[in-house]
A = this chain, B = another copy of it.
Amino acid sequence: MLNVLNREDAVALVREKTASLSPGTEKVNIRDAGGRILACDIVSSENVPSFDRTTVDGYAVNAADTFGAGASIPAQFEIAGEIPMGEKADFAIKRGQCVKISTGGMLPAGADAAVMVEHTDCDEDLCLIYKSAAPYENITRKGDDIAEGETALKKGTVIGPAQTGVLAALGITEVEVCKKPVVAVISTGDEIVTGSPEPGQIRDVNTFLLSAALKQYGCDVFGYGAVADKRDEIETALKECLKTADAVIISGGSSAGARDMTADIIGSLGKAYFHGIAMKPGKPTIFGIVDNKPVFGLPGHPLAAYFVFRLIVTAYLRSVMNLPDDKPLCEGTLAANIPSNHGREEFLCVRFDENKKIVPLHTKSGIISVLSEAQGFIRIPRNTEGLGKGTVTEVFSL
């Protein structure tokens, strides 16, 4: 009989045993990189912008020439020309000169600031400036956005719109990202059916729930479907999945006997590391390695299966995809007392009320609908009497 672990120890064991089992990396175009995870740091090989730019429409000047200028004492400049947008400012201005420039235009040599057109009064050759400018005022300097040699994006960053923008700014069109792990999902249980359930039977929820969750975490899914709680059927399914997948999730069966059978199969084909975590929901969780691939046994109840996915399976996914550790969404204040005296760490779906207080969503086993109503979940530590109304606690995203 394997020991029951604390969640922290279970997570550490999963990370340790799967650390070297990364599915590798691949190159993708940045147009298709949304949601993918950077496999290495992006170090800038150039300055962005690559030249000093003005951030206003107006006149580029040497700031020192404006010192002392004000609403009633304009500084006077000779207009040396105009910098067309997108063209190189290939001349220098002398002291006392200025050039007309549009937002985003390149500063000529000799200029170190820009004055908004609103603070000037100009004719063709002469420009009066009614405001003094500090050096670098209204200027984005070369490298201000991203400097040459700077780590613009860190390994493990999820590529969202902003990161795609940074890559585009650096002229990078292809990036090295983590390959999507292929995870197989097997749903077991004599009561689980794929078609219409007869009395006593229920529909396979976990294949769909876990597949969608896996896709959200950037995995490809091999949905094996539902099998009965029979040793040979589960063993056949597991072997079949191990042929194509990087990891396998077996959810259910819900009875103690069925769970022991799953642990037995994992142990006989490879090595089972734990069977049971001191958490609620999620106690009957199994973890092992078969053929150098992680195999997770999840509870049959959808809500419990989801919490184990979210808290245990994602430890493996985060580890092999170099994702940062899970962080709480925010903190909030409990709207009600939450009793808990299980000696187990407890996880509870919550929503926010109209005063932004945290409302626990208590539920029975086997319920899926509460998950679709929840806006997050909270953690109640082991060996407490629960959490009192008014307690400030962290809320995690589902």
Contact between B332 and A165, CB atoms less than 8 A apart: no
Known: A57-B255, A140-B364. A216 touches B161 (CB 8 A): yes
Question: Is A163 in the interface zone, CB < 8 Å from B?
Answer: yes
Question: Is A239 in the interface zone, CB < 8 Å from B?
Answer: no
Stretch of A63-71, A166-174, A337-345 contacting B (4+ beta carbons < 8 Å): A166-174
Chain B residue nearest to A255 (CB atoms) is B102
Contact of A160 among B169, B191, B212 (CB under 8 A): B212
In the bound complex, CA of A34 to CA of B197 (Å): 25
Closest 4 A/B residue pairs (Cβ): A330-B330, A165-B209, A86-B191, A102-B255
Count contacts on A: residues with CB < 8 A to the other chain.
94
Known: A31-B211, A209-B161, A330-B332. A106 touches B254 (CB 8 A): no
Known: A102-B254, A161-B213, A189-B86. A166 touches B202 (CB 8 A): no
Chain A stretch 155-209: residues in CB contact (< 8 A) with chain B: 157, 159-169, 171, 189-193, 196-209
Extra 12 A-B pairs, beta carbons < 8 Å, given A103-B300, A169-B368: A49-B202, A55-B364, A86-B191, A86-B193, A104-B253, A145-B367, A145-B369, A152-B369, A162-B371, A164-B209, A165-B306, A331-B356
Contact between B365 and A140, CB atoms less than 8 A apart: yes
Question: Is A246 in the interface zone, CB < 8 Å from B?
Answer: no
Chain A stretch 125-170: residues in CB contact (< 8 A) with chain B: 140, 144-146, 152-153, 157, 159-169
Question: Is A88 in the interface zone, CB < 8 Å from B?
Answer: yes
Contact of A372 among B166, B215, B216 (CB under 8 A): B166
Pick 19 A–B contacts, CB within 8 A, sort by A.
A30-B208, A48-B369, A49-B366, A53-B202, A85-B229, A86-B192, A102-B256, A104-B189, A140-B367, A144-B367, A146-B368, A160-B212, A161-B306, A162-B368, A165-B302, A165-B306, A166-B368, A168-B203, A168-B204
